[in-house]
Amino acid sequence: MKLYSYFRSSAAFRVRIALNLKGLDYDTIPVHLLRSGGEQHGESYRALNPEKLVPTLIDDGADNDGQAALAQSLAIIEYLEETQPQPPLLPSSAVDRAHVRGLALAIACDIHPLNNLRVLRYLSRELKLEEAARNDWYRHWCMQGLTALEARLSGDHRTGQFCYGDAPSLADCCLVPQIFNARRVDCDLSGMPTVLRIFDACMRLEAFERATPAQQPDAE
């Protein structure tokens, strides 16, 4: 498998964690989102990923009829879950699977899209926002989303060492990159003991540590 990745992309970071948790080998193909006007805008990457976003996963082994370039981090992780079920990243019951997917989507839909590179660029270039106002924006959505996540996790009996029970799941694959982002803009996470406890539990695992931005071949 090949993963088109950028060391700092949270979406790529999620997939790296899932690949590591499942013990899958992969080659990283770096796509530098800033260099030369953004390598994601180049013709060859756009042919793979018309959204011009990372990550893209290529599964050479898939019976794919020439269509194994997979986009969207959560779709990729669901694909890994279906093709490489062990260890599972989703629970077995439908209600609990919806719970874990709901936690993941609360991050992937309601926090991260507001904080990614192209949005921050729009704030700066089109809306002429200074860095301080951009950081306020970033923190606002991080804090709002993570505060809700803390409420959900701390109030649910299914929360364990990790977001769901005592093994990492799809939800943890999304939580950890989001905390890295929150810390980059100095969010005050002191009111989120459950979120932070789970983050620390994740970071004690080699699968998470090896997926961090600093450990990537394209890290700066």
Instruction: By CB under 8 A, name the binding residues for a second copy.
Output: 50-53, 59, 62-64, 67-68, 70-72, 74-76, 78-79, 82-83, 93-95, 97-99, 101-102, 104-106, 108-110, 112-114, 119, 122, 126-127, 129, 133, 136-137, 140, 145, 148-149, 151-152, 155-158
For the CB of residue 184, give the shortest distance to a second copy in the complex, in Å: 20
Cβ atoms of 28 and 5 closer than 8 Å: yes
Taking the least distance from each CB to a second copy, the nearer of 136 and 188 is 136
110 CA to centre of own chain: 13
Taking the least distance from each CB to a second copy, the nearer of 165 and 209 is 165
Q: Bin 160: left if φ > 0, else alpha if -120 < ψ < 50, else beta.
A: beta
Taking the least distance from each CB to a second copy, the nearer of 47 and 206 is 47
Beta strands in the chain (DSSP E): 2-5, 27-30, 56-58, 69-71
State the Cα–Cα distance between residues 213 and 24, nearest whole angstrom.
18
For the CB of residue 22, give the shortest distance to a second copy in the complex, in Å: 14
Taking the least distance from each CB to a second copy, the nearer of 156 and 209 is 156
For the CB of residue 209, give the shortest distance to a second copy in the complex, in Å: 26
State the Cα–Cα distance between residues 79 and 57, nearest whole angstrom.
10
For the CB of residue 34, give the shortest distance to a second copy in the complex, in Å: 18
State the Cα–Cα distance between residues 216 and 88, nearest whole angstrom.
25
For the CB of residue 94, give the shortest distance to a second copy in the complex, in Å: 4
Residue reference for tokens 């459950």: 194
